[in-house]
Structures are given as C-alpha cells and as structure tokens.
A = this chain, B = another copy of it.
Amino acid sequence: MGALEEIQYKPIPVRTLLVEMKDLSELMIDLAYSSALFHNTDLARDVLELEKKVDNLALLLKMNVMIAARDAKDAKDLLGVSLVSSAADEISDAAADIAYIVLHGIGIHPAVREAFKRVEEQLGRFIVKRDSILSGKSLRELRLASRIGVDIIAIRRGNEWIINPKGRDRILEGDILIVRGTSLGIEELGRLAEGNLRKLED
C-alpha cells in the first residue's frame, strides 16, 4: 500500500465504488504485464498511481459499507461486497508488485518478451499533442475500432482516469490514451496522437 492522502468520508453508493475498483484492478493488470514485457516505465508509474486510487476506494468502500449496514441482514448482504472489494485490492497490489519490478530495472528474460510479443493484441500509451486530429473529437466520431482496429481502454487526464470510455467521451489535447489493438493499429494511433498522421481512412 503506497502513501495515502488523508481519507475524507464521502457518501458514495457501494455499487459505484465496487464497479470502479473492479474496472481499475483489471486495467492495472493489463498495464502491469505490458509494462514488464516492453519495459515501459511510464506504464509502470501509471500502475502505481492507480494503486493509490484503488487503496483510497477500498477505504471509502469500507466506510460506506459500515454506514449502510443497519442490521444482521444488511451485514450479510454487504459481506460479499466487502470481500470482493478486498480481492480487487489484492489484485491491484499484485499489479503494483509487477510495476515495482519494472521500476527497479529488473528486466524480463528476452525469450519471455519474445513469447508475449507474439500475442496479437498489444497495449499502447500515447500523449495527444496539440496538432493531433484526435483532439476535441468524441470516440463515436472517431470510430477507431472499425477504422484502425484499436480500442481506447482508458484516458488519463491529469489525475483523472476515464476507464472504458464511452462513445460520447471526448479526447482532449494533453490526454494520455491507453489503447489496445493490433501492432499496426497501435502504430497508426501513435502517429495520429503525435500529429504526424492527419487523416483517418474509412
């Protein structure tokens, strides 16, 4: 568990907190494995930051669960929530362990990296530059999945993370895009984010 900001109790529905923990922990695993395999320290740092978020969510969830439980029946209903949240927290800790490996400069055996590279789908991480045609557009307008075979699985905007963004979500200048797709599609998205490729073919 990393350093924590002071925890402020906020009344948030446990469902909202649990869904967010689940989504974040799943994303962290993808990011952590990718950071290890491609020795990408930016991805590793993202993982450590997300771990702090998950830790905070776990504490907030614990508080909200306590307050939500009024009697024995509530407590039993909420026990599952609390245990699933603990598991999501453990998963995020394991992802952070992988990220630490990367940041400590411990490499992955080249043979292993080769093996993982053969997987068809890979992750990419790109900053959207001022000149990029992606900037200001919604995911629905861009239709990246059907056009270049790439899914945006998260958008990092400063300290905010939008996990599994929807069609109405917009890409802004300075956003960091975490994307999944074929290596060709990812390479193309990198050039679009950089501003070197100025149009999207249908």
Chain A interface, >50% SS class: helix
Give bound CA distance, A106 to B87, whole Å.
14
Interface segment out of the listed A93-101, A152-160, A188-196: A93-101
Decide: A19 and B115 in contact? CB cutoff 8 A.
yes
Chain B: which residue is nearest A106 at the CB level? B80
Counting every copy of the chain, the complex holds 2
Q: Give chain B residues whose Cβ lies under 8 Å from the Cβ of A107.
A: 76-77, 80
Asked if A114 is at the interface (CB within 8 A of a chain B CB), the reply is yes
Chain B: which residue is nearest A120 at the CB level? B164
Min CB gap A146→B, angstroms: 12
Decide: B91 and A15 in contact? CB cutoff 8 A.
no
27 A-B residue pairings within 8 Å (CB atoms): A13-B111, A14-B109, A14-B111, A15-B111, A15-B114, A18-B115, A19-B112, A22-B116, A25-B29, A29-B91, A76-B106, A77-B109, A77-B110, A78-B109, A80-B106, A80-B112, A81-B108, A81-B109, A83-B101, A84-B108, A87-B94, A87-B97, A87-B98, A88-B94, A90-B90, A90-B97, A91-B95
